[in-house]
Amino acid sequence: MDNKPKNILANIESGELKKRPKWQFVLQTCLIALGEAVLFAVAIFLISFVFELLVSANFSFFPHVAGQGFGFYLQMFPWVPVFGGLLLIIILGFIFNKYSFVYRKPLIYLLLGIIAVIAVATFIIHITSFHDRFYRYTTQHRFPIIRQFYGQYRVPQK
C-alpha cells in the first residue's frame, strides 16, 4: 500500500500540515452570506426597477399597446436590467445549491422560490414607491453610478 498517508501523519506531527482555524470558516460563512444577500438585493433592485418602468410607461413598451412596432419595442425595452436580474437569479441558484436543504430537492423549486421572493419584494417596492424616492435621494447626494443607471431609463413616476 502507498506510504503517502504516513507522510500526512508525519506532517501533522511536525506541524507542517495544519488545520485551518475555526474562525476562518466562521468569517468565510459570514462573507458568503453577505455576498448572497447583496446579490439578492441587486437582483430585487433590477427586477423591481424593470417592473416600475413598465408600470410608469403604462406597459407601453409592448408593441400592441404602443402601436409603434416591434423595432420600437426592442429599442425601448430595458434589456440590461432584465438580463442582469435573470443572470443574478441563475447565479443565486448555483450559490444556494451548496445548502443541503436546497440541493436535495429539484433545482426548479429553488428557482421558483427565488422568483417568488423577488416578486413579493417587487410588489412591496412598488407600493412603497422605493425607486421614486431612491432616485430623488441619488440626485441630491453623490451616487454617480446609480444616478447614471436611473438616468439611462425613464424616471419612475408615482
**Interacting residues toward another protein by CB under 8 A:** 1-2, 4-5, 7-9, 12-13, 17-22, 25, 97-98, 100, 103-108
Closer Cβ to another protein, 16 or 41, answer by number: 16
Query: In whole angstroms, how close is the CB of 92 to another protein at the nearest point?
Result: 15
Phi and psi angles of residue 50, each rounded to the nearest 5 degrees, phi first: -60, -45
What is the closest distance, in whole angstroms, from the C-beta atom of residue 30 to another protein in the complex? 13
Long-range CB contacts (< 8 A, 24+ apart) of 55-58? 55/126, 55/156, 56/154, 56/155, 56/156, 56/157, 56/158, 57/154
Task: Provide the minimum distance between the beta carbon of 7 and another protein in the complex, in angstroms, as a whole number.
Answer: 8
Identify which of residues 100 and 152 has a Cβ nearer to another protein in the complex.
100
Query: At which residue does the C-alpha cell 506510504 appear?
Result: 3
Helix (H) or strand (E) holding 47: helix 22-56
> How many other β-carbons are positioned within 10 Å of the β-carbon of residue 114?
19
Which of residues 53 and 88 has its CB atom nearest to another protein in the complex?
88
CB closer to another protein out of 8 and 74? 8
